[in-house]
Homo-oligomer: A and B are copies of this chain.
Amino acid sequence: MGEKIVIIGAVAAGPKSACRVKRLMPDAEVLIVDQDNLISYGGCGIPYYVSGDVSDEDELRKTSFHMTRDESFFLDAKGVQIRIYTKALSIDRQAKTVLVEDVRGAEAKTDTIAYDKLVLATGSRPNVIPIPGADLDGVFTISDLHKAIAIKGRLAKGKIGKAVVIGGGAIGLEMAEAFADLWGVETTLLEFMPQLLPRIVDRPFADMLKKHLRDQGVNIHVNESALSLEADNEGRVCRVITPKRTLETDIVVMATGVRARSELAKDADLLVSPMGSIVVNNRLQTSDPNIYAAGDCIETVNLVSGKKFYIAMGSLANRQGRVVGDNLAGIASTFDGAVGSFIMKAFECCIGGVGLSLEMALEEGFDADAALSAPSDRAHFFPTEAKIPLQMVFDRKSRRVLGVQGFGPMGDAVLARIDASAGLIAKGATIDDFSNLEMAYAPPFATALDALNSVANVADNMACNRHRNLSIPDFLAWMADPAGQPDWIALDLRHPNEVGAFKEKFEKTWLPLVYNEVRQRYEELPTDKKLIIICDAGTRSYEIQVFLDSVGLTNSLVLGGGFNCIARLGVDWWPTK
């Protein structure tokens, strides 16, 4: 027999490493141990299983050709041996052995497994916020398929009328949709931070998402978390207490992030980060060259900031698994890091991003700014056209693109722009690379200058100081307190039908002047005011700013993203009529 390869963990990175190395070195003896019996499942599919989109949990464990990926499948089809119910207790790096325990029996039955090469694919565990009642019956994390089966069981029995989800990250949001959409559960989501998807997208995008979820009937409270959970007479969770309210509920899902499972590595004196993730090089070797690690248990490099970061994603686990398989077989493949591409369905909409948000980019010390627009996803004359707010975060000095965010109707339009950005951002591409990026064009799919080209052009104009921008947060602050900026006035370029109600409501701060009349009538404009130029997406506003500059009216700002974006935020001052 060939080399003995032992892998701990059989969900994503583990099986991927195993199958890849077995294909490259068919005579290798490959064994995976996992403490669970449910292995090799698509964990990211759990919300769709709970919602009912996926009818059976077995679907999450099947190949695309409908075979269930259980132990006998791995043995018969892949030549990979799997021991389920087998928990790894410790690693003896000198002896090159793993001590494992069969967790089925009442009494501990241990065993020692020798390895030539070891792979840690121990995954992550969900954070549990330490509040009273966190261990009550009916309080769940989304840590594995068993939990999902239990939740769906309760839903199917009609036992859940109300649900509270704690945590406004992707998993919390997907679970909230699962409860509310198909099951009609009255669902409340709590997020401790001031916005959904904190540190992932910027506030305007988080707020577009929030409004859409609220429009779909999900109650959302940001800046608010649970203080305690209370039980009914049978010990089942029935109330969530927050600083602001008491929520009746039949179930609580805690989706407050995950952290690496790295105890085994730590106990074996492998290098582990202060955050608790296993440290690896770009060949995915730990500090012991005979031990590799991949998936949710490792830290990686953020390819934008250049710094180490922790990112737990099934897609990365699979890519890393392949790299480990290569290296086990002597092929020097590398995993150089990640840009954090993400996409998420939210009822009728989707939101996606890649790279750094503006907030994160500023925190990382970049000379960062953000270009926001609301371009069409396809030709405006094509029946299914929609506007997709799209933001490009860039460094003003180097012109490097640091991140892209998008929001749009459910479908693959936002996905296309995120995917197109991912590879370029990883390679350090500039605004100019995006301006000329040759996105495929036909009217049913795109505009002649693609949405992504357009937002890059806005970034170019901003980076060259031709476009002086007012951000949405600054605009909203002014609308909340016009007296705070007494010399500001809105110059609204939109069609009179659109502007009328605003002029009526904000008489003193609102000045309508339709776009194509500005060149004739600019002399009517006040010279003692800062003009906040407004249109639908920001494009016309920029043109007018340039023109006004040329005639000496240089005191203006463009509302980037325009009222298309503002309308999606659910502001309370929007004229109702």
Residues of A within 8 A of B (CB): 12, 23-24, 26-27, 42, 44-45, 48-49, 53-54, 59-60, 62-67, 73, 76-79, 170, 174, 313-319, 322-323, 333, 335-336, 338-345, 350, 352, 354, 375-376, 379-383, 410-413, 415-420, 422-424, 426-427, 429, 432-433, 435-446, 448-450, 452-453, 457, 466, 494-495, 515-517, 519-520, 535-537, 540, 542-543, 546-547, 549-550
Across the A-B interface, the 6 shortest Cβ-Cβ residue pairs:
A26-B550, A412-B412, A315-B441, A343-B440, A416-B416, A419-B420
- Chain B: which residue is nearest A424 at the CB level? B423
Q: In whole angstroms, how far apart are the Cα atoms of A24 and B543 in the complex? A: 10
CB <8 Å contact, B345 and A444: yes
CB distance from A69 to the nearest CB of B (A): 11
Chain B residues lying within 8 Å of A48, measured Cβ to Cβ, are 379, 381-382, 443-444
CB <8 Å contact, A432 and B333: yes
Chain B residues lying within 8 Å of A322, measured Cβ to Cβ, are 435, 449, 457
- Chain B: which residue is nearest A46 at the CB level? B443
Chain B residues lying within 8 Å of A340, measured Cβ to Cβ, are 438
Chain B residues lying within 8 Å of A417, measured Cβ to Cβ, are 419
Helix, strand, loop or mixed for chain A's interface? mixed
CB distance from A94 to the nearest CB of B (A): 32
CB distance from A412 to the nearest CB of B (A): 4
CB distance from A525 to the nearest CB of B (A): 16
Q: How many copies does the complex hold?
A: 2
Chain B residues lying within 8 Å of A519, measured Cβ to Cβ, are 76-77, 79
CB <8 Å contact, A415 and B438: no
Q: In whole angstroms, how far apart are the Cα atoms of A345 and B319 in the complex? A: 32
Q: In whole angstroms, how far apart are the Cα atoms of A535 and B66 in the complex? A: 13
Chain B residues lying within 8 Å of A537, measured Cβ to Cβ, are 64
Give which listed residue, B318, B336, B517, contacts A76 with CB less than 8 A: B517
Q: In whole angstroms, how far apart are the Cα atoms of A89 and B517 in the complex? A: 34
Contacts beyond the supplied A64-B537, A66-B495, A67-B515: 7 A-B pairs with Cβ under 8 Å: A23-B466, A48-B379, A48-B382, A77-B543, A336-B436, A342-B442, A423-B424
Q: Can you sample 9 A-B contacts with CB below 8 Å? A: A27-B550, A67-B516, A79-B547, A319-B449, A343-B442, A345-B442, A410-B444, A412-B413, A424-B424
Chain B residues lying within 8 Å of A466, measured Cβ to Cβ, are 23-24
Query: Contacts A26-B546, A438-B341, A440-B415 known; A42 to B381 CB distance under 8 Å?
Result: yes
Query: Contacts A53-B382, A422-B420, A436-B336 known; A350 to B73 CB distance under 8 Å?
Result: no
Chain B residues lying within 8 Å of A432, measured Cβ to Cβ, are 333
CB <8 Å contact, B536 and A65: yes
CB <8 Å contact, A65 and B520: no
Query: Contacts A26-B547, A382-B54 known; A443 to B42 CB distance under 8 Å?
Result: yes
Q: In whole angstroms, how far apart are the Cα atoms of A332 and B24 in the complex? A: 50
CB <8 Å contact, B546 and A23: yes
Query: Contacts A333-B432, A339-B438, A350-B445 known; A383 to B53 CB distance under 8 Å?
Result: yes
Q: In whole angstroms, how far apart are the Cα atoms of A452 and B344 in the complex? A: 19
Chain B residues lying within 8 Å of A520, measured Cβ to Cβ, are 76
Query: Contacts A77-B515, A516-B73 known; A422 to B437 CB distance under 8 Å?
Result: yes
CB <8 Å contact, A381 and B60: yes
CB <8 Å contact, B318 and A449: yes
CB distance from A287 to the nearest CB of B (A): 23
Q: In whole angstroms, how far apart are the Cα atoms of A317 and B447 in the complex? A: 12
Chain B residues lying within 8 Å of A318, measured Cβ to Cβ, are 448-449
Query: Contacts A26-B547, A315-B449 known; A379 to B440 CB distance under 8 Å?
Result: no
CB distance from A352 to the nearest CB of B (A): 6
CB <8 Å contact, A440 and B354: yes
Chain B residues lying within 8 Å of A319, measured Cβ to Cβ, are 435-436, 438, 449, 453
CB <8 Å contact, A314 and B64: no
